[in-house]
Structure 1
């Protein structure tokens, strides 16, 4: 395989989205707390949020005979990472800092604003070490090539291009769980020509004009994420196996030759966005643009990512809301939020606050971001319901925290979202509280800087919910208790 000239030189790429599907994985293991249920609150033993030292996989929603993949947390015992690839678990501050970087990149992408910390004006690739771990990630394992090689990929509804690191790693590759994919030993790998119509699809999928290698005329992709992590390499097609029977020939993906950043351990990314190049669109003939997932409550349990109407969890319990298209962000899945209630009472927030900002659901953003006006109302109502408990120091972007170390039983107000189409969604308790320690339990929401930035329904708020994407039907659905 010839070395494209741009891999040895500087290549300008604009920002996209850092992929990190995050959960709380480093909680204080000595913390056990019972939350009392009231007519307006949740109940939960908070020690159930603490990851155990052994994996307790769930079979709910995961059927090996169907197109269903097991979802695990990269830092938990279910990831089965070799000891030599075990990486330091990120701190809560690091998780939230990386989350803010992702949110900043989404806001810039949707508004088409170019900000200095997202674009490299000097055309240089930032030098980030792949050994530096950012936020935790949810991963699934797929097979690539002939014969199929297992690869653990981060899955992300906010990105379109699927990519993995490839040999010979002309420029740079970070350490990953499995051996790096070698296209030269696969019988089904083919490079995409610069003149191929599909090469031009990279512009909308990555936000960057594709390059062209000298000598081989191979299409080159370049994608950069919100924290300046990046992947650059050949654009090719290969056989992708989601299961032993669900195999797709000619799957378009990025074969990374220069990869740096906060992906440590995973082999790359599985893109589930709405662009033509995403996995959802490339498998549309078989699965009908229908998929679902459930994110587990802790890193010591598992969830699932399923494709097609026959796979997944309790579909008969799913309630749907219409999908909307986000202006300037067609790859995102938009939701129509119409209200929020705290403790059973609807907050006094004008619907124009939500309609003016718009909202997306994103599996890669950790903490839900609300318009400034909406967040203030939510925070104030929650604080009123928690006024009998001592406050604690803020944790990064989380400004409403409590010291619950002296309490055996705690009651707190439940939170529900109202979406278009008459759907009211009660959040699981794991989607309301972010537990750093017994002395620092925080409201798991944050506000945008103003009401014009797009709101984001993040993955903490999605935990334990079965989330169903019926893209062809133009709707997203939810069901409670989809996984442990």
Structure 2
């Protein structure tokens, strides 16, 4: 992967219309959304930002303020840190319970609001559903009728009674026994409950039905949660599809058909579309690093981040700093979090490089403290930034992965520091933009290919 020393980019005003110009996208009129043309041994879905003009969830009015989005992002990061710290604690949940501490049923991570969505079909006949996709979650779920307490969503609730292939999962089934939190109804049907880190929650019946990925591509007997009580920060999405490493996730359930792995590309703009692909070959230009496994948090995908480059030169930070707590790659976290020492070195190097261009500094934006005012400039020049992974893979970031542009007068370095060097680092979705991110679970490696989407 060629690493340039700088980016020179033309500033553009945010687009209010969705851009779909690639011939690789095929319309699916009966479901009302688009799917990406895929190889015969794979299935690919259209990925859009849920607050952008391409989103089926787009509502009237303006998206949430940037500061609000970033504050919610910080809440997600805190919940990831809490979940990992709790899992690593030598005191068991059972012991905590014995001391009278009330624990959430299944400690998921905070959902945040910077997530991406895909559209799938569920049931027979297939009902179109728009769901958040999340590599930090395992169980997929949608809101179902009858619902005793559901949040407002754009589409009608999924009605199991109208699907000829729907069935409840018995309590004795392995899928039920594998859940962190489960119970049985009087008729011995499996019940699930998930409480996320921001106190959003979903609970209902564990079920099976046909999941439709493309008009000709289905997964019969897909196990998911049929939510009957759902509250929290889900926006207007119909539910969530989990891509974590546990057996109940979509990627795990689809492994027998497509192989153990998946890939996606997040677009550079909320006005464009990317893709989520189950199976299929990796891009020829993908650079791979080992996928690390932690026994205490098996759902997360860890990568060996060992360094950062600015303008083609390695920032002086020992790899030991990055290795202290490790790094999780997460589709739902917006801004990459680095150990404090690593972030300070990156910020200093980046600011010195930007100082040579003479740009005016701008106020901080929530968690982002290194911002610039590009007012009056039609083009801007910024130093390149690349992430270096164990094994030598150096991944150059797109312009959109280096700066978080709230407005022309406030464009900020899209990285932030963890509060403690012992907190796990997180590779967020801003830095993943335009890269083909390949999760080769079968071979325990993660790859990054340049120019995966625009």
TM-score, normalised to structure 1, is 0.82
After TM superposition, give the deviation of residue 74 of structure 1 in Å: 2.1
Runs of 4+ in 1 over 4 A off after TM superposition: 85-88, 119-125
Q: Whose strand proportion is higher, 1 or 2?
A: 2
Q: Distance in 2 between matches of 1:408 and 1:276?
A: 50
1:425 aligns with 2:395: yes
Q: Which residue of structure 1 lines up, in the alignment, with residue 94 of structure 2?
A: none
After TM superposition, give the deviation of residue 59 of structure 1 in Å: 4.3
Q: Distance in 2 between matches of 1:470 and 1:172?
A: 39
Q: Which residue of structure 2 lines up, in the alignment, with residue 42 of structure 1?
A: 7
Alignment of 1:4-403 (within 5 A): 40-47=5-12, 50-60=14-24, 62-63=36-37, 66=40, 67-81=43-57, 86=60, 88-112=62-86, 135-169=113-147, 171-203=148-180, 209-213=181-185, 215-310=186-281, 315-387=283-355, 388-403=358-373
Where structure 1 has 5 or more consecutive residues not aligned to the other structure, the ranges are 1-37, 126-132, 204-208
Q: Distance in 2 between matches of 1:403 and 1:121?
A: 49
Structure 1 residues 40-66: Cα deviation after superposition (integer angstroms, max 9, x where no partner) = 211212317x23324335345820675
Q: Distance in 1 between matches of 2:361 and 2:392?
A: 35
After TM superposition, give the deviation of residue 408 of structure 1 in Å: 4.2
Q: Which residue of structure 1 lines up, in the alignment, with residue 452 of structure 2?
A: 482
After TM superposition, give the deviation of residue 211 of structure 1 in Å: 2.1
Q: Distance in 1 between matches of 2:174 and 2:379?
A: 62
After TM superposition, give the deviation of residue 122 of structure 1 in Å: 6.6
Cα gap change, 1:409 to 1:71, in 2 (>3 Å): closer
Q: Distance in 2 between matches of 1:406 and 1:139?
A: 35
Where structure 2 has 5 or more consecutive residues not aligned to the other structure, the ranges are 26-35, 90-96, 106-110
Conservation of the 8 A alpha-carbon contact between 1:112 and 1:328: no
After TM superposition, give the deviation of residue 96 of structure 1 in Å: 0.6
Q: Distance in 2 between matches of 1:163 and 1:429?
A: 35
TM-score, normalised to structure 2, is 0.88
Q: Distance in 1 between matches of 2:104 and 2:324?
A: 36
Residue correspondences, number = 423
Conservation of the 8 A alpha-carbon contact between 1:221 and 1:232: yes
Q: Distance in 1 between matches of 2:115 and 2:349?
A: 32
Q: Distance in 1 between matches of 2:61 and 2:132?
A: 16
Cα gap change, 1:39 to 1:269, in 2 (>3 Å): closer
Q: Secondary structure at the match of 1:228?
A: coil
